[in-house]
Amino acid sequence: MAAIGNIMDDDMSVRESLATGSRRRRMGDEDDIDVYDDDDEGRSAGSNNGVKDVADEELPAHACAYCGIHNASAVVKCLICSKWFCSARGNTSSSHIVNHLVRSRHKEVQLHPSSSLGDTTLECYSCGTKNVFLLGFIPAKSDSVVVLLCRQPCASMGQGSSRDMNWDTSKWQPLIEDRAFLGWLVGPPTDQEQLRARHLAPQMIAKLEEMWKVDANATIGDVASGAAGLDDEPAPVLLRYDDAYQYQNVFGPLVKMEADYDRRLKESQSQDGLVVRWDLGLNNKHLASFVLPKLELGDVKLAVGDEMRLRYTGELRPHWDAVGYVVKIPNNVSDEVTLELRARGDKGNVPTDCTHNFTADYVWKATSFDRMQHAMK
């Protein structure tokens, strides 16, 4: 939550006007990520893949993961993956930080501690929403400050229903404009810094993002050396095939690639820090109800009958895990997901006396992909 001072006129007064405090988290329904399409794959002039364009030097931890720029006022930290990105565009049509947020579907960022705003986490002053694609600022009528508010629902409630009559909601402006954060929030790097930085082609950035899904510590050098095998293109699909053997050789690797991608996607959808409410069903099976924030954001999909694993990682009792099936998904009455645990072993082992420090994992099954592979044999 932040009420930000007259940043455009006097950056030094910004940190004095930051207002922090716990707020009830409420996420907006809208998501503007689709507005920022992937960068033009053709904009790669003067890149030579960008690997050898940066000087051999030891970069600080807050250097941009793409180009290496480490100006504190020009870099932003992604709170989901803890990587830093700058406001430079390089050979892409959007800034590096926005490029990363769109490709990775991350939405929460934090400024550098040495910037004029300090280590501020960008979030709505009213409801605590951290989705930067929904955030904007509103100048106050009397004081020389601006307030960060989300577009929906806080800024759209209108002047009459606003809890602070000092806010002029008609002047709401987004924090991201022309595929980059506003200059007074995240300053652009200097021309000299951009000349010394790595100049990555959009194709190289896309490969790096794909490699991070497998290895979070991957670097540009790993992409250039082909360590992840991203350059191994499968055989192209044909209109006609000579025999079933050729058909299997073409579609077999494609099915395996799709299965591997689906498995990684499921594994990345784990949600920790859950608060569980316990109940007992009519069939004497334990029911665990909890709220999945990623489901509210639209990052994951869930249906009745899906299998999930619930784990307890707290310190009040030994670690525990169990598998169950989803019997209820969020509706207009409740935002909770209810999981019916399988009846297994001693039911006394279920930590019904604990409510915090739970983790929910999606159980991936290869049944459909195994059937496809078996049908081609």
Question: In whole angstroms, how far apart are CA 18 and each of 100, 139, 168?
Answer: 27, 14, 19
Q: In the prediction, which pLDDT does 160 show?
A: 41
H helices within 47-190, ranges in order?
Answer: 96-104, 158-161
Q: Is the pTM of this model over 0.75?
A: no
Q: In the prediction, which pLDDT does 16 show?
A: 39
| Cβ neighbour number for residue 333 with a 10 Å cutoff | 7
> For the purposes of burial, counting CB atoms within 10 Å of the CB of 229, is it exposed (0-12), middle (13-18) or buried (19 or more)?
exposed
Reply yes or no on whether the pLDDT at 364 is more than 60: yes
> For the purposes of burial, counting CB atoms within 10 Å of the CB of 91, is it exposed (0-12), middle (13-18) or buried (19 or more)?
buried
Give the class (CATH, top level) of 271-367. Answer: mainly beta
| Cβ neighbour number for residue 41 with a 10 Å cutoff | 11
Residue pair 134/176 in contact (Cβ under 8 Å)? The answer is no
Instruction: Write the pLDDT tens digit of every residue in 55-112.
Output: 446 888 999 999 999 999 999 999 989 999 999 998 888 999 999 999 988 999 999 9
Residue pair 228/86 in contact (Cβ under 8 Å)? The answer is no
| Helix, strand, coil percentages for the chain (3-state, nearest 5) | 25, 20, 55
Instruction: Write the pLDDT tens digit of every residue in 311-334.
Output: 998 888 899 999 999 999 988 888
Q: Quick one: pLDDT band at residue 143, thresholds 50, 70, 90? A: low
What is the residue extent of each domain of the chain?
3-204, 271-367
